[in-house]
Structure 1
Amino acid sequence: MKAILICAVLAAASLTGCAGLNANVHTANPSAALQGERTYTIARMPSQDAGADHPQFETMLHDELAKNGLVDTADKPAHYLLSIAYATRPAAVGVGTKDCAPGVCERSPEAPFSLFGGRAYQHTLTLRFFERSSGREVYKVSAASSDRDADPLHAMPLLVKSALAKFPFDAPPEWRVKLRTEKTGGVPEVVSVKPLQP
């Protein structure tokens, strides 16, 4: 029982930021080099046009893409269409154990109690690049992080920095990005980018 409680406390501590900021990044088509002109136009869904937080998010994304040599052509024809998807949802916390009878130690979809007085949230961002001429997806990258803040705007700088920490990410497809912020609450800065061990 002590071991289970210690694991639960450690899991909660990592969500509160004691272990620092980090995000897991997954890529499809790793090692894909973006061929041709490095121009893009964002393909928005109607819900994103109406979303109050979307313009702020796009501004962050434009800045990071520009650092990687990509230019937003806005309404002019571009070589790539960029699809953006992001979400924030409650994260499930479970404790797995060995030597349990089937059905006795199964994970529940949500924690039965609130550790340290707050619920955990999972934030995700997915960027997909399509060739405008063919419609073919040439690169896809997703970043995910967890914290105790339900506001997606709070997680966006971390997700954008993580997803574009390497551009494009090469093989393998799974990476861990560690970041830090200044005490004044500035933009996150990438500390390390390492492949996740299988």
Structure 2
Amino acid sequence: MVKAILICAALAAASLTGCAGLSADVHTAHATDAAAALQGERTYALERMPSQDASADHPQFESLLRDVLAKRGFAETPGKSARYLLSVAYDTRPAAIGVDVKDCAPGDCGHQPGAPFALFGGPAYRHALTLRFFERTTGQEVYKVSAVSSDRDADPLHAAPALVKSALAQLPFAAPADWHVKLREDKTSGVPDVVSVKPLQP
């Protein structure tokens, strides 16, 4: 029993310490079919929530988004002339990662809240980014994508480049709704680059 716990804990710890490289899980939703989402004129305006105006982190998230969106053929324009309004939400919180007392296979360890992961390098954190595209004229949400990753850094800006690259690795993502994005950090610039984008197995 103890051996099973230690094996599962070590596997989970390794995935958070970078042995497996950078990665994120992505979930998408479309108001229309995937092929029709975000077709036509690709202009957008960023919409802030009141709490984001006072955030020191938010301008850096927006800067990252602008850079990647430009590479995907999107142009930022004034709000009244943009086709889409883009809403950005993100958070970082302690990850409720645990271990199971039964035998487990890699990647299939059970999750019990409050496991002592400080023994394996400190607490884990879950980072999440959600982007929502709305038609400006109708207010209809036409595309939503969320990216989630875990590591041992509580700073949301540390995770931001990988989250943004993952969420926008394909724009839009086609069916299925859930994907796994693997990234590799450039040794010179430190900027993560997408290595592979694969659908998650059910």
CA offsets 1:155-186 (integer angstroms, 9 cap, x no match): 00000000000110000000000000122352
| Alpha-carbon contact 1:91-1:110 (below 8 Å) kept | no
**CA displacement at 1:3 relative to structure 2:** 1.6
**CA displacement at 1:57 relative to structure 2:** 1.1
- What pairs up with 1:1-198 in 2 under 5 angstroms? 1-29=2-30, 31=34, 32-97=36-101, 108-198=112-202
Q: Work out the CA distance in 2 between the residues paired with 1:26 and 1:46.
A: 26
| Residues 107 and 59 (structure 1), Cα distance of their counterparts in 2 relative to 1, 3 Å cut | closer
- Give the residue type in structure 2 aligned to 1:190: V
| Alpha-carbon contact 2:5-2:102 (below 8 Å) kept | no
Residue 102 of structure 1 is matched in structure 2 by none
Q: Work out the CA distance in 1 between the residues paired with 2:73 and 2:14.
A: 38
CA offsets 1:32-52 (integer angstroms, 9 cap, x no match): 421332111111001111101
| Greater displacement, 181-190 / 55-64 | 181-190
**CA displacement at 1:74 relative to structure 2:** 3.5
Q: Work out the CA distance in 2 between the residues paired with 1:65 and 1:131.
A: 17
CA offsets 1:78-128 (integer angstroms, 9 cap, x no match): 1101010000000011123559xxxxxx95432235132311000000000
| Greater displacement, 180-189 / 115-124 | 180-189
| Alpha-carbon contact 1:92-1:109 (below 8 Å) kept | yes
Q: How many residues align?
A: 192
Q: TM (normalized to structure 2)?
A: 0.89
Identity of aligned residues (%): 73
- Give the residue type in structure 2 aligned to 1:16: T
Q: Work out the CA distance in 2 between the residues paired with 1:197 and 1:187.
A: 28
Q: Please, which runs of 5 or more residues in structure 1 have no aligned partner?
A: 100-105
Q: What root-mean-square deviation, in Å, do the aligned CA atoms of Structure 1 and Structure 2 show?
A: 1.8
| Alpha-carbon contact 2:98-2:112 (below 8 Å) kept | yes
| Greater displacement, 1-10 / 67-76 | 67-76
SS across alignment from 1:114: helix
| Alpha-carbon contact 1:12-1:115 (below 8 Å) kept | no
SS across alignment from 2:62: helix
Q: Please, which runs of 5 or more residues in structure 2 have no aligned partner?
A: 104-109
- Give the residue type in structure 1 aligned to 2:27: H
- Give the residue type in structure 1 aligned to 2:19: C
| Alpha-carbon contact 2:90-2:129 (below 8 Å) kept | yes
| Residues 107 and 38 (structure 1), Cα distance of their counterparts in 2 relative to 1, 3 Å cut | closer
Q: Work out the CA distance in 1 between the residues paired with 2:117 and 2:85.
A: 43
